[in-house]
Copies of this chain bind each other. A is one copy, B any other.
Amino acid sequence: MSDEMEISLDAITSTQVLNRVNALVKLQDQHDDLNLEMEKEIKAIEAKYRVLYTPLYEKRSQIVSGAVEPSGDEIAPKEPIEVPDLKSGAEKGIPQFWWTAMKNHQLIGEASADSEHDDDIFAFVSNVSTQEPEGGDEFSVTFTFADNQFFSNKDLTITVNINQEEMDLDSIDVTPIQWKDGKNFTVKKVEKTVKKKGPKGKAASVSTKTIEEKVPSLFASLFLKHELPSAETMEVEDDQDASEIQTQYQCAVILKETIIPNAVEWFLGRASDDDDGFGGQEGYDFDEDMDEDFDDEEDDIPQIKPKSSKNSAAAPQPNNPECKQQ
């Protein structure tokens, strides 16, 4: 199935059948109108609850950063965590709270596995929050950092713009990083040998030149500006921008949908990737053949598509009338 597919009209064998099909198309129009109304109502409810969640997230942020010290009833949940043989300590807040939570998500953990610098910088994260302006064409994820040696920004925000009609990714913007002098660990200077062909009959000259090379890290994937891949680059394997924008986008969705709402469960490592859009499946797999057939499972979240492949002239996407979360 693709946007480009032709309407198949072979089953419409007479004017009478055509009339009946057009009657169904009219019923579908009415259905789609109702569906839009339903989606509006659901969005209004989600917005209402976002407001109700906010004070809980703020309190959490204050406890994590050490701005507020909880006591009494506040530290008595239904099923308290118990850790034997703990001593008293002088830590401020909950050190490494967000970085521990993030690394417990399989895909974020993997995206950071080979980095030398992620542990150093993400340790300074004191809060992660998400913003979703009314209208719904964008959402953002903001990391708040404590004072650190790397950059002077207090907040770094990833803003994801979705094309609602096409349900694909329009752009991702990030806060420009104000690096402190010589602290930009996302690039390293590399000496490169340059051979210059000499004039006819003369020897080639060899010189060295210092160039900047990207150093892979989750931090760089998340907070640098990557170009949304074109149809061409998406076809090229190992295109770094395509791969990094995929990581950036998916991590933003994972943070918004999965980690921020349940951060303490992720911190404790007892949350599961099962119910987000990208998690590894736990338990057993069906046999390989079936897996292949049903492999490309996707979420309701928008797809990443190359910019140039948009053709809005193609068939309308029927709206899925059911919110799949039940």
Contact = CB atoms under 8 A, between A and B. Distances in A.
Q: Which 6 A/B pairs are nearest by Cβ-Cβ distance?
A: A14-B89, A23-B70, A262-B318, A270-B315, A8-B269, A26-B77
B282 A298 contact: no
A27 B100 CA distance: 18
A290 B246 contact: yes
A64 interface: yes
A236 interface: yes
B60 A24 contact: yes
Contacts of A290: 242-243, 246-247
Interface stretch (A40-48, A147-155, A181-189): A40-48
A79 B276 contact: no
Contact of A20 (B35, B70, B242): B70
Contacts of A42: 42, 45-46, 323, 325
Interface stretch (A192-200, A212-220, A302-310): A302-310
Interface residues of A, number: 151
Contacts of A275: 167, 298, 300, 317-320
A31 interface: yes
Given A237-B288, A297-B277, A297-B298, A320 B258 contact: yes
Contacts of A11: 94-97, 100, 267
Given A22-B80, A26-B75, A281-B303, A289 B110 contact: no
From A7, A17, A279, A297, residue with most partner B Cβ within 10 Å = A297
A8 B104 contact: yes
Contacts of A24: 60, 63-64, 94, 263-264, 267
A18 interface: yes
Given A1-B273, A286-B243, A15 B88 contact: yes
A264 B34 CA distance: 16
From A272, A294, A296, residue with most partner B Cβ within 10 Å = A296
